[in-house]
Each structure stands twice: as C-alpha cells, then as structure tokens.
Amino acid sequence: MYSKEFCGIYNEYGWDYFSLTMGDAILKYLNKNNIKIKQHLDLGCGVGTLCDYFFKNGIKTTGLDISPDMINICKNRNENIDFFVEDMTQYISNEKYDLITITCDAINHILEEKKFDRIISNVSKMLNISGYLIFDIIDKDKLILNSNIISNRSEDIKVHYYITNKGELINTNIKVIQNNEKIYECDVLEKLYTIEFIKKILLKYNLEILKSENSILNEKQRIEDKIYFICKRKW
C-alpha cells in the first residue's frame, strides 16, 4: 500500500493526464459504438480522476482503492461520488455494472496470478450481461529498461523514472525533483503479465475480447507502453 506521502505527491504531481486521456478515449469509443452506460465501477481508482471525469459526463460512478489516503483525496475531489476503501482482489458486490475499469496499470500491481484470476472472476459476476470491462497492462515488449526517463510536470518539477527488471517483476524507482533538489523517492514493484495468460483468464470467465492493442480509439490516444483490453460479458 502506498504511503500517505506518496498519495499526496501522486495527487499534486501525478498522472491525471493519463486518466483524463483514457476517460476521453473510453467515452468516445462508447459513443461511437452507441453503448449506453448507466453504472460504472473503477477498481484501483487512485485519486479518483477517472471517476470524476465520468461523473461530469453524466455517468453514475463508484470508485474503490485499497489506500485510505487515496480515498480521502477522492472524497475531497468530489463528494457526490461513492468512494470506498476496498481491496480489489477481494471485492465482490451484488450491484451490477454496465462498465468496470481497471486503469493506470493497476493490474500490474497485482503480483500473484491467483489474485488476478480472482479479480476477473468477481468482475464477471458484477457485470451486467453485455457489460464491458476495460483495463490496461504494461506492454513488456515496449518497456525502456535501465534508463532514466524524465517527465516534466512544471517548470520546476520533474519526475524521474528508472525501471529495472526482476524476472517476471519490474521495479520502478521514482524520484520527484523540485528546483534540482529531490523532494521524494520511492520504489514501485509490478508484475509483467503475458497477453496469453490474460486472454486465458478472460476466456475462463466468459469475457469476450473485442480489442487488445496500444490505443483505445486512435493514434492520438496511443500510449506506447500500454496494452488496452476492451472486453464484453457474453452471457
């Protein structure tokens, strides 16, 4: 679980651009295919950016995250959305959803295959028939290893990433630099799942893969190191 300090850093200097880009791409995909969404659930919702985006576009949305500090940020962002502290590897609800999302490589934070299996099993049970699961994973073939990647957040804030391989796992060292001084550092461990394994589990739980590639909609919303899955519950 992330520290309170990390949650604050994530919220202030974080990854909203990815959630907003993905939210826009998802809505355009749904509209293009005339898919109506009334109920949405976001697993591993982080600071609630995607939920907030959907809410502002007229979709009833619920978010959950294992981190109480993340959920506190979510509730401060939008008090009209239901946010809960829950472990998505255990979560199951009697509520039915038209769309469930798992974004920002939250899947890769699940380090055990049996827990991933359980998540997909529960997702399938919570989806309405013909409901959609949309998620992303790290594309291991596109990872840039052992190289310092710098992301400019503002004129004085830069985030440095250094990714190293540990077998089926990767470790990302994250440093936040302000005016050339380090103000935060942490390591994030993630698991690299194969597409073959993902497809096997989706099929096991009656989820048809409609799309699996580096973009949801078009080249403008392409993020090279991600693979997006759009899946539909068959029956």
CA distance 232 to 211: 10
Whether residues 160 and 116 fall in one domain: no
Contacting residues for 76 by C-beta, under 8 A, at least 6 apart: none
CA distance 55 to 167: 40
Number of domains the chain is built from = 2
Residue range of the domain that includes 150: 144-190
Measure CA 150 to chain center.
21
Whether residues 56 and 127 fall in one domain: yes
The secondary structure element, H or E, covering residue 39 is strand 39-43
> Pick from 166, 179, 135, 128: which is nearest to 45 by CA?
135
Q: What is the reported pLDDT for 83?
A: 98
Whether residues 161 and 78 fall in one domain: no
CA distance 232 to 33: 13
Whether residues 115 and 169 fall in one domain: no
Whether residues 135 and 85 fall in one domain: yes
Q: What is the reported pLDDT for 93?
A: 96
CA distance 233 to 50: 22
Whether residues 106 and 181 fall in one domain: no
CA dist list (Å): 152 to 21, 157, 176, 179, 202: 17, 6, 10, 12, 37
> Pick from 32, 13, 22: which is nearest to 52 by CA?
22
Whether residues 172 and 128 fall in one domain: no
Read off the CATH number of the domain in which 41 is found: 3.40.50.150
Q: What is the reported pLDDT for 217?
A: 62
Read off the CATH number of the domain in which 186 is found: 2.20.25
Whether residues 92 and 167 fall in one domain: no
Whether residues 17 and 89 fall in one domain: yes
**Would you state the torsion angle of the CA atoms of residues 129, 222, 21, 141, taken in this order, to the nearest 10 degrees?**
80
Q: What is the reported pLDDT for 66?
A: 95
Whether residues 72 and 102 fall in one domain: yes
Per-residue tokens: 24: 């826009």
What does each of the 235 residues of the chain score in pLDDT, given as a tens digit? 567 777 777 777 666 778 888 899 999 999 999 999 999 999 999 999 999 999 999 999 999 999 999 999 999 999 999 999 999 999 999 999 999 999 989 999 999 999 999 999 999 999 999 999 999 999 988 888 888 888 887 888 898 999 999 888 999 999 999 999 998 999 999 999 999 999 999 999 999 999 988 877 654 544 568 899 999 999 8
Q: What is the reported pLDDT for 188?
A: 92
Whether residues 43 and 159 fall in one domain: no
User: 55-70 burial, b for 16+ CB within 10 Å, e for fewer?
Assistant: beeebbbbbbbbbebb
Q: What is the pTM of this model?
A: 0.93
Radius of gyration of the chain (CA): 17
**CB-facing half-sphere around the CA of 13: CA atoms within 13 A:** 21
Q: What is the reported pLDDT for 16?
A: 76
Whether residues 161 and 213 fall in one domain: no
